[in-house]
Chains A and B, each alone.
Chain A
């Protein structure tokens, strides 16, 4: 690890004045990606020591980096926020200069790709991924090895690898963190996947709301091409793979894989029924492998460590909301929710209690405080009526009205519905009207019954994941916070 001063210039610290500090510096500073606890930003690090340059409450930011450092506060390496992490995907994030491929190469970038090309055994790579038990980190949790094997088995001489970087769940920014902090890990993961399934063409579909990630990826792709880690005859082998960036234009539904394919093809981002699955019929009708940013980011560390040392793997979360310390953290899969929210995040602000933790964005649900001992893994969260989702975790304290939260998510899904199928297009409108009626204390017990029934109709009859999971925030709050709904019924209504 370099002892040179590192300063986070990723989006969050940038919004807290990191660029002004960088420009005012009279000593060499290395720009790095996210260092973790964003709420303490701007953040810097010297060796293993993390420094918060955050000014005192109500004070302006220091006029120069020197002054900010003089008034900085050290965050101990024993702080639970740092100590309880297991950084695999984000191992180089905050350490490497994301704009400098030499730095990335010096710290091991593309070594796993080189090893895979030297071994020249695609099926062995797929077998390793399959044995690791790695599941898709975008939310659905489909086994990655199985997906790779399906695409690899397709009889086509042209295949495509797509990275879904359309991180649309509000409150989720794990993928932004990796793309801004260590883009070469993503590119290496994609290249290894392309070699394993036999693809020569790659796309990264990224949302336009992430201008810095777009800029850093463009630069990283160009640098990797110049060094021969992307393009033709990679690493002196016969393997060729190019990556093209496709920037979205603000449509949440484009995170759905068939809508994403249409958007890459320059069309309206409208989903279509599956099958055929993208593995068979994807971008331009070719067999296509689609994985999320974090899933690809897992590949180089998995191959470096091997299946045993990799173990159950990790999950990156973005912790926000009513919590003392917010930011990005990577923890071992199965870490209890309480550890993340209370021990690492410091719990609710003084004088308040945690009421719920929202995971999975508009497709997920709310976990009540009574279930905080749940380990965070795909199946435990599903049993609670929510989903792992991509990793956004929004903490809500006792001042939060859960009906308002349900209405917020339904309004989101209503706005983002593409309008192709009626259950989603009309159902979300009706659901929102019923929730508004409740919030205005005009609803009867019959309205509540109808709300619940309509949730099931929309979930069962919608065409794609957006509509199928849109009622989840309502259903999960009805399940865990029914009291919030009953309190809002019209005066005189019989409470059941």
Chain B
């Protein structure tokens, strides 16, 4: 992952692809988050300068959307799907049970996602991008413990 010291040079091709135009802002934010893991304030200020936008506009846009994050990620992420099909199969209980579990000790960040559209596997979780179907809290915890091995 590129570091701050390199001055966000890795973002330059993306900025160029959008001609440093304001309408490319969300595409640039998406790419920036992919490159750097999260949107730090220096990164947002850099994007504002490059797109010739007020910082408030960049910050305001980024904070509107759920998927942008402003703090570093934990080593692993576990997203509980809370879409309708998962809800009727017990997603709320699954989420509550995982919230009560000591996930931080496993370097896992818990979150939720509103339907990824593979509902035949409900209830499901997305762990580091991979989908685990038909799970309960114990099964998820057991497999999360395996991640660190």
Contacts and interface: CB of A to CB of B under 8 A. Distances in A.
Contacts of A287: none
Interface stretch (B4-12, B25-33, B102-110, B136-144): B25-33
A264 B26 CA distance: 8
Interface string B109-149: 00001111111111010000111110000000000000000
Interface stretch (A249-257, A461-469, A488-496): A249-257
Contacts of A38: 118-120
B84 A321 contact: yes
Contacts of B67: 208, 249-250
Contacts of B122: 320-321
A39 B120 contact: yes
A321 B90 CA distance: 11
A394 to B, nearest CB: 5
A250 B65 contact: yes
A412 B114 contact: yes
B121 A318 contact: no
B85 A171 contact: yes
A102 interface: no
B120 A327 contact: yes
Given A248-B65, A249-B26, A268-B64, A11 B84 contact: no
A142 interface: no
B83 A170 contact: yes
B74 interface: no
B84 A267 contact: no
A239 interface: no
A246 interface: yes
Given A15-B133, A171-B119, A264 B83 contact: no
Interface in A299-327: 318, 320-322, 326-327
Contacts of B119: 38, 171, 173, 318, 320-321, 326, 394
B14 interface: no
A408 B121 contact: no
A358 B88 CA distance: 11
A164 interface: no
A103 interface: no
B30 A249 contact: yes
Nearest to A167: B117
A258 interface: no
A44 interface: no
Given A266-B61, A321-B88, A361-B84, A210 B117 contact: yes
Q: Which of A11, A38, A41, A266 has the most CB of B within 10 A?
A: A266
Contacts of A251: 64-66
Q: Which of A211, A320, A408 has the most CB of B within 10 A?
A: A320
Nearest to B51: A266
B60 interface: yes
B87 interface: yes
A167 B115 CA distance: 10
B60 A247 contact: no
Interface string A387-410: 000001010100010000100110
B36 interface: no
B26 A209 contact: no
A176 interface: yes
A12 interface: yes
Given A12-B121, A263-B26, A394-B84, A269 B115 contact: no
Contacts of B131: 11, 14-15
Nearest to A418: B64
Q: Which of B61, B84, B86 has the most CB of A within 10 A?
A: B84
B22 interface: yes
Nearest to B81: A170
Contacts of B85: 170-171, 320-321, 326, 394
Interface in A172-230: 172-173, 176, 208-211
Nearest to A16: B133
Nearest to B64: A268
Contact of A170 (B25, B26, B29, B115): B115
A173 B118 contact: yes
A172 B117 contact: yes
A265 interface: yes
A269 B120 contact: no
B43 to A, nearest CB: 15
Given A249-B67, A250-B66, A250-B67, A266 B24 contact: yes
Interface of A: 11-12, 14-16, 38-39, 41, 167-173, 176, 208-211, 246-252, 263-270, 284, 318, 320-322, 326-327, 358, 361, 392, 394, 396, 400, 405, 408-409, 412, 418
25 contacts: A11-B118, A15-B118, A15-B124, A15-B131, A168-B115, A169-B115, A171-B84, A173-B115, A173-B118, A173-B119, A209-B114, A211-B129, A246-B26, A247-B26, A249-B29, A263-B26, A265-B22, A265-B23, A266-B23, A266-B24, A266-B27, A270-B64, A318-B117, A400-B88, A412-B114
